[in-house]
Amino acid sequence: MTQESVLSVQNLSVVFHTPDGDVAAVSNVSFELRSGETLGIVGESGSGKSVTAASLMRLNNSSTATTSGSILISGVDVLTAEESDVRRIRGSEIAMIFQDPLSALNPYYTVGKQIAEAYLVHHPNASKSDARGVTLEMLKKVGIPNPEKRIDEYPHQFSGGMRQRIVIAIALINNPKVLIADEPTTALDVTVQAQILDLMKELQKEFNMAIILITHDLGVIAEAAQEVLVMYGGRIVEQSTVEALFSEPTHPYAWGLLGAVNSLELSGRGALATIPGSPPSLISLPAGCSFNPRCAHSSEICMTDVPALRVVGSQGSVTACHLPNDEIISLGRKAAAR
């Protein structure tokens, strides 16, 4: 691999202080991201995936949240850097797109103005007409038909899919090295979702950027990611290549997720495989492995010790589970085949 590392996260933890107690939203998350690569993060509501993403741009409110660990982008630690440095990095080195494109856009400004604004912030010496030219170019790249006319229209004049293209245009106008996409297609219809995923792939090639794709949809992960983090209760429980996740998943939670999805896709009319119970509350995470109350394979040690991440199997997957290696591999293959 000759791709350079563009983002390195070490031991990231985020604790929110709430009236009901401290919420450990993210615990000890570490990963590397290389240019041109797509890292998928999957998990259910409350698994910590969106908080992880927000931390990468230092968007967590420092008065209510304590963030520790390190996040290195181009040699700068986002968590300890001066506010002015972080502001320089936001948008130019790392950019973000969100689930709901309508609330990500300002209804009072034309889309052209909003895209140009993002450009002018990082190019203070550029003229307005330069910015307009760059904006037009970008609108063409994200596939807005008739950009010369539509550049002066307002967000409400665009459909959901077109709005998401505008948001992507804003994110990419400064050619960032990392794009964080937090559920970018969840609010869209399937046919439009397919268009947006294709567009992201195309632009990734063109800009050679890394993408962090956050989603709850394993189908989207299979479609677009190369590496995958599976998160549960604020922790990474499995880290693997997308091929390994779907052929030899190594964590009981991943087995459950795959089982629920696979049985839907294949549609026998039998009962669906389910994971019993519901995701844990982050205020009172179960002791030990936080998946233990829902796990069919848990034993005593799971109730007391948090399992450390370790390499399991031939495909280099990393997993946090107390089960012995050979058992994990045989159960994992069974889960994938189901």
Partner 1 sequence: MSSDIALQAIDLIKYFPTGSSGILGRPTDLVQAVDGVSFTLPAGKTLGIVGESGCGKSTLARLVTRLIDPSSGSVVLDGVDITTLSGKALREMRRKLQMIFQDPYSSLNPRHSIGQIIGDPMRIQGIVTKGNEKAEVQELMQRVGLNPEHYNRYPHEFSGGQRQRIGIARALSLHPSVIVADEPVSALDVSIQAQILNLLENLQKDLGLSFVFIAHDLSVVRHIADQVAVMYLGKIVEIGDSATVYSNPSHPYTKALLSAVPVANPAMRHSDKRIRLVGDVPSPIDPPSGCRFRTRCWLATDLCAAQEPPLALDESGRAVACHFPLTTAVTIGNGAV
Nearest distance in Å: CB 290, partner 1: 14
Bridging pattern class, strands 21-34 and 5-18: antiparallel
- Angular region, 69: left φ>0, alpha ψ -120 to 50, beta rest: left
Q: How far is the CB of 333 from partner 1 (least distance, A)?
A: 15
Shortest Å distance, C-beta 213 to partner 1: 12
The pattern of x and - marking residues 179 through 218 that bind partner 1 according to CB under 8 A reads ----------xxxxxxx-xx-----------------xxx
Residues 31-70 contacting partner 1, CB under 8 A = 44-45
Strand 76-77 with 65-73, pairing: antiparallel
The one among 24, 57, 200, 258 contacting partner 1 by CB under 8 A: 258
Strand arrangement, sheet containing 310-312: 94-97, 178-182, 210-215, 38-42, 227-232, 235-241, 317-319, 310-312
Between residues 195 and 204, which has the closer beta carbon with respect to partner 1?
Answer: 195
- Nearer of residues 119 and 246 to partner 1, judged by Cβ: 246
Cβ neighbours of residue 75 closer than 8 Å, sequence gap 6 or more: none
Rounded CA-CA distance 194/145 in Å is 18
Regarding 279 and contact with partner 1 (CB under 8 A), the answer is yes
Contact 184, 164 (CB under 8 A): yes
CB of 170 to partner 1, least distance (A): 20
Q: Which two tokens stand for residue 143?
A: 């596939």
User: What string of DSSP letters covers 278-337?
Assistant: -PPPSTTPPSSSTTGGG-TT--HHHHH-PPPPEEETTTTEEE---S-HHHHHHHHHHHHH
Neighbours of 124 (CB within 10 A): 6
Q: Taking the complex as a whole, how short is the minimal distance between the CB of residue 125 and partner 1, in angstroms?
A: 38
- How many CB atoms lie under 10 A from the CB of residue 324? 9
Residue 147 vs 161, nearer CB to partner 1 = 161
CA distances, 332 to each of 166, 256, 291, 335 (Å): 41, 10, 16, 5
Taking CB under 8 A as the binding criterion, the range among 20-28, 75-83, 166-174, 273-281 that sits at the site for partner 1 is 273-281
Stretch 217-256: interaction string toward partner 1, x if CB under 8 A? xxxxxxx------------------xx--x---------x
**45/337 Cα distance (integer angstroms):** 26
Among 84, 267, 324, 337, binds partner 1 (CB under 8 A): 267
> Does residue 276 bind partner 1 (CB under 8 A)?
yes
Q: Tell which one of 59, 264, 301, 303 touches partner 1 (CB under 8 A).
A: 264
Considering the complex, state which of residue 52 and residue 164 has its C-beta at the smaller distance from partner 1: 164
Considering only 81, 261, 285, 309, the residue that binds partner 1 (CB under 8 A) is 261
- Contact set with partner 1 (CB under 8 A): 44-45, 159-162, 189-195, 197-198, 216-223, 242-243, 246, 256-258, 260-265, 267, 269, 271-276, 278-279
